[in-house]
Structure 1
Amino acid sequence: MSFHRLCVVVLFSAALVMTGCGRQVFTGKHEARGVWMSRFEYTSERLRSNPEAAKARIRAVFEKARAARMNMIIFQVRGNGDAFYRSSVEPWSNLLTDTLGKDPGWDPLAFAIDEAHRLGLELHAWVNAFPFWRGGEPPTPSDPPNPYYAHPEWTVCDKDGKPMTWDPPNNNYISASPGIPAVRNHILSVVKDIITKYDVDGIHFDYIRYPEGSPTHGYSHDSTSVARFNSAEGNPDRLDWDNWQREQINRFVFDAYNLLTETKPWVKMSASVIGKYTGPGWTGYNIVYQDARRWMQASKIDFIVPMIYHERSHPTHPFIPLITDWHDRASYQRFVYPGLAARMADRFGWGEVEAQVDAVRDHGLPGLVFFSAGGLEQTWDMLGGRSFPYWANVPAMPWKPGTTPAAPGSCSASVVNGIATVSWQSGDSAHEYIFNVYRSAAPTIDPNDVFSILTITGRGAASHTDSTAGTSAWYYAVAAVDRAGRESELSPVVTARPLAAK
């Protein structure tokens, strides 16, 4: 897609992100632009003993994302039964200090939330769901204990009932069995711990599935799962083994969504899912019992991110047919944001990444997520300059509770020495909002013209400084955007005319 064609799309498309029948359509003003930041990207050996350097790394990534006009960070806070935040359920990760359970003297999640909200970015806490240890050595004692240390009986077992050990095909993870209710309840307690203590915008699950190779190894024939499968209480619908295991994952997803809805209904829930839903080869439905379509159909997830880390010409998992398949299945009033491999540029050039971004838009999917921040290290400028040349809000989720914010009031604008200051007020809920600041050379401002968005502010802002005003007269208006993406009407338009410095 050329830049000129893109302009036509974004300037004349409707402001809605769904049609009446629930099919997703791309609009320039509403596009999720996310990036994953893994725990390894802020806990390298160089950063581990230097919290200020780790904070600087997080801040630098977030500021680059902001400069590239992105709007969402998916920040990892749980890897394998450990915590990168002050948890009362699981121990501090050993990646922070080399010692499991040792307080690192800072809180990565709290810091990340503050930085993201300062920059107008959503912060989604990334939780690896069922892995509960990693590597060949067992966890050491800690307070609270790692769940693998405390409950080795939770471990996924093969067809002979033998517990899995660390496994390179599974990224050396040891997983807890989804078929054990105590496992699911433990992970729910992790989620509740996070959402009650921290002002996150979302919970994002990864590894929300059985391990790789499950059909081959017979995962998970742990004694609890087998007993429940064979009982009327544990399998009331008399499902076969594969569908029963899918239902264990489904039950966890439904319970987690219900927990968020009951506790903080504005918090969004999402999941990384296998890039190919079903069929031959590496798929979510057939190989790891992950039925993401069912979650959307049941309205128990807000968006999914299929991890499609392959080029368009891949022989078995080509990018465009896979996103087409997800688009065709996305008819349940929920969003699909394909996950793209940022390091694809190292093998195929930036043109491949850019073509995939265009394909996502051409196929009507309202957003995307890059894996990962480290892979964009050399390409942030190209991303912002070429793929995201205008600001965009995260797509609105009308199923989330709340009402559209009132338009900001008491707006004013002035210019001194070519620098304009725009100020406004937005009531008691202003700390919950980001603000779209619009600028035009004409007194009429069209909120559907994405190129009239001068900036999107940080959370709770009450003013913006426009250092590009120069000697021209400009017209400004402001709109509030709530956590669900609902945008207010524009404030009254105000004029900033240059004044000489006093």
Structure 2
Amino acid sequence: MVIKLFHRHSLLVCIGLLAGVVALCMAVNFFGNQEDVPAQAPLLPSSSFSDGQADSSVPEIPVEPASEDEMRAVWVPYMSLDMSQESDRSEAAFQQKFDTIVEEAKQCGMNALVVHVRPFGDALYPSNYFPWSHIVGGTQGTDPGYDPLEYMVDATHKAGMEFHAWINPLRIQSGGDTPSTLAADNNYTVWHQDASRDGWTVQTATGKYYNPAYSGVRKLIADGVKEIVENYAVDGIQFDDYFYPSEDPAFDEGAYNAYVESVSRSGKPLELLEWRQANINAMVSLTYSEIKSVNPDVQFGISPQVNVSNDLKMGADVESWCSVRGYVDYICPQLYVNFENPVLPYDVAAEQWREMTTDPNVKLYFGLAVYKAGSDADGGTWKKADNILAQQVALGRQVKCDGFMFYSCEYLDHDQTRKEMENVMKQFAG
């Protein structure tokens, strides 16, 4: 059954958003994935390298003092926790792996971890809704014999840091091999045997996904989050940037056609993209409400792509999340671009998201690409200086963002990124 969408306010938000997006795209003119754009001539005046060498790719921004409650988080992706290929998958081995992550984050001045606890419609904790993750059990559905999430929350808090549980809400399987085997009690497997849930999951060329067009799916996602908040002392819940995996109308054609037929009898239905945004908004607002019903102090955030055009195409109504109360407590766009990006330079992106975040109850964090520092990414422009991330922190403070999240923990202590991180830590100290 397809549930009619939203209330009148959300429809107005959606209509207003479309007009804003048209103007925004004309002004900024960025299309496609910013990760793939080539470098061009420097866009900003010359400045100084941290070692004294002149370079025009990084502006000279004075060190801004940090606010007392500045967020300094690092993402811990499922790959960093993966025990599936380890010869020793014991509780002690997992704890040692996580302790190393905590220690490195602490040494780098971080005050929060954002840890992947549900990467593929599975869980790194005992769940009533999702099977055990292959990350800890070796095969999806295999109980590792201990509770990884319980330990990770406790260890993070003992180190004096916040713990945010990172969730991919809709992904069940990437391609056909991650995870390679779905558990017998995986919802994808079970629902395929239930005609009443036809269409609730979808398989595409890129993998298997939950379909948020259905209220039952949205409730599952929200209930799964509520379960975490009820059972663990997490400080926050975070959805990542993956929502609708495809713009192809075939993804949810049956559900959309049923919606159009239902609404057409009494009014004008939403266009497909508006309808998808409304579905995601319904899931996000329901999740927010469920979290607050258990513990109002637990923060709910989303980390969308930097490119607003891409966000909208995948159903992520980021402007509403930034401006209307009841969706999120924080937004953390992934500003994985440097100052030379020809499509969306870092300073332009930072100002854009600052201006878009108008609800005073929504904190704005900037996601920074530690993994690109010192690499050949984006035409080699990340090799032109070793203080790019540090200057991104300085600019973020200048535009009054509320903190930063760094991707990922694997690159905090790495030969490729060491000099950059040293300069970031100087910003923290300053």
Task: Give the TM-score range, shorter chain.
Answer: 0.7 to 0.9
Report the CA distance between 1:31 and its aligned residue.
Answer: 1.2
Partner of 2:295: 264
Displacement of 1:384 after TM fit?
Answer: 6.8
Q: CA deviation at 1:151?
A: 2.1
- 2:115·2:166 contact (CA, 8 Å) conserved in 1? yes
Matched, 1:183 2:223: no
Aligned-partner residue type, residue 340 of structure 1: L
C-alpha distance in structure 1 between counterparts of 2:150 and 2:262, whole Å? 44
Answering whether residue 230 of structure 2 is matched by residue 196 of structure 1, we say yes
C-alpha spacing 1:249/1:87, structure 2 compared with 1 (3 Å): same
* Residues 335 and 349, structure 2, Cα contact 8 Å, conserved in 1: yes
CA pair 382-302 structure 1, distance change in 2 beyond 3 A? farther
264 and 135 in structure 1: CA distance in 2 versus 1, 3 angstrom threshold: same
Shift of 1:323: 1.4
Q: TM-score, normalised to structure 2's length? A: 0.75
In structure 2, distance between residues paired with 1:233 and 1:101: 43
Cα distance in 2 for partners of 1:94, 1:284 equals 29
Is 1:339 the counterpart of 2:372? The answer is: no
Contact 1:208/1:249 (8 A) holds in 2: no
Distance 1:233 1:370, change over 3 A: farther
Q: Sort the Cα spacing of 1:343 and 1:57 in 2 relative to 1 into closer, same or farther, 3 A.
A: same
Which one of the candidate residues 333, 341, 349 is aligned to 1:314?
A: 341
The count of corresponding residues between Structure 1 and Structure 2 is 356
Structure 1 residues 458-469: aligned runs within 5 Å: none
Quote the offset at 1:174 in angstroms. Answer: 1.8
What is the correspondence of 1:296-307 to structure 2 with a 5 Å cutoff?
Answer: 296-299=322-325, 300-307=327-334
Q: 2:75 aligned with 1:36, yes or no?
A: yes
1:112-171 deviations in whole A, cap 9, x for unaligned? 1011100111100001011122332674443xx1121122456589xxxxx53341xxxx
CA contact (8 A) 1:139 1:149 kept: no
Structure 1: gaps (5+ residues): 11-26, 158-162, 168-172, 392-449, 452-502
1:381 Cα deviation (Å)? 6.8
In structure 1, distance between residues paired with 2:173 and 2:236: 24
1:357 partnered with 2:393: yes
Contact 2:105 2:412 in 1 (8 A): no
Please identify which structure carries the higher strand content: 1
Q: Is the 8 A contact 1:284 1:291 kept in 2?
A: yes
Residue 107 of structure 2 corresponds to residue 67 of structure 1: yes
**2:280 is aligned with 1:246:** no
Offset of residue 230 of structure 1: 3.0
Q: 1:383 to 1:88 in 2, by over 3 A?
A: farther
Structure 2 CA distance for aligned equivalents of residues 205 and 327 of structure 1? 20
Q: Secondary structure at 1:313's aligned position in 2? A: coil
Q: Does the Cα contact within 8 Å between 1:68 and 1:383 map onto a contact in 2?
A: no
The structure-2 alpha-carbon separation of the partners of 1:272 and 1:108, relative to structure 1 and needing over 3 Å to count, comes to same
In the alignment, what sits opposite 2:413? 377
Q: Which residue does 1:228 correspond to in 2?
A: 259
Distance 1:234 1:346 in 2: 58
Residue in structure 1 matching 2:170, options 130, 135, 139: 130
Q: Distance in 2 between matches of 1:237 and 1:294?
A: 22
For 2:264 and 2:224, the matched residues in 1 are separated by 26
Q: Give the CA RMSD over aligned residues.
A: 2.9
Deviation string 1:82-109 (CA, Å, 9 cap, x unpaired) is 1111112111012223222111122221
Query: Residue 6 of structure 1: CA displacement?
Result: 5.3
Match of 1:116 in 2: 156
Contact 1:72/1:121 (8 A) holds in 2: yes
Q: CA deviation at 1:250?
A: 0.6
Task: Give the distance between the partners of 2:254 and 2:262, measured in 1 at CA.
Answer: 12
Question: Partners of 2:424 and 2:150 in 1: how far apart?
Answer: 30
Pick aligned residue for 1:87 from 104, 127, 142: 127
Provide, for residues 283-311 of structure 1, a one-character-per-residue CA deviation record: whole Å limited to 9, x for no partner.
211x2121112023221201111112222
- Tell me if structure 2 keeps the 8 A contact 1:68–1:381: no
Instruction: Read off the aligned partner of 1:292 and give its amino acid letter.
Output: V
Among candidates 371, 387, 399, match of residue 424 of structure 2: 387
Separation of aligned partners in 2, 1:342 and 1:199: 28
Q: Is the 8 A contact 1:123 1:200 kept in 2?
A: yes
Identity among equivalent positions (%) equals: 25
- Structure 1 counterpart of 2:89, one-letter code: S
Higher relative contact order (CA 8 A, sep 6+): 2
Amino acid at match of 2:231: K
- In 2, the alpha carbon distance for the partners of 1:354 and 1:204 equals 25
Q: Contact conserved, 2:223 with 2:290, CA < 8 A, in 1?
A: no
Tell me by how many angstroms 1:184 deviates: 0.6
Q: Structure 1 residues 130, 236: CA separation in 2 closer, same or farther (over 3 Å shift)? A: farther
1:52 correspondence with 2:79:
no
Q: How far does residue 79 in structure 1 lie from its aligned partner after superposition?
A: 1.0
Deviation string 1:368-391 (CA, Å, 9 cap, x unpaired) is 111110122227875775434587
Counterpart position of 1:457? none
Distance 1:263 1:294, change over 3 A: same
| Structure 1 pair 208–315 and aligned structure 2 pair: CA distance change class (3 A) | same
1:74 deviates by 0.3
Are the equivalent residues in 2 in contact too, given 1:34–1:369 (CA < 8 A)?
yes
Aligned residues of 2:213 and 2:252 also touching (Cα < 8 A): no
Relative to structure 1, the CA distance from residue 390 to residue 315 in structure 2 (aligned partners, 3 Å threshold; closer, same or farther) is closer
**Which residue identity does 1:177 align to in structure 2?**
N
Going from structure 1 to structure 2, the CA distance change for 1:52 and 1:149 (only over 3 Å counts) comes to: same
Query: If you compute each CA radius of gyration, which structure gives the higher value, 1 or 2?
Result: 1
| Aligned counterparts of 2:353 and 2:346: Cα–Cα separation in 1 | 11
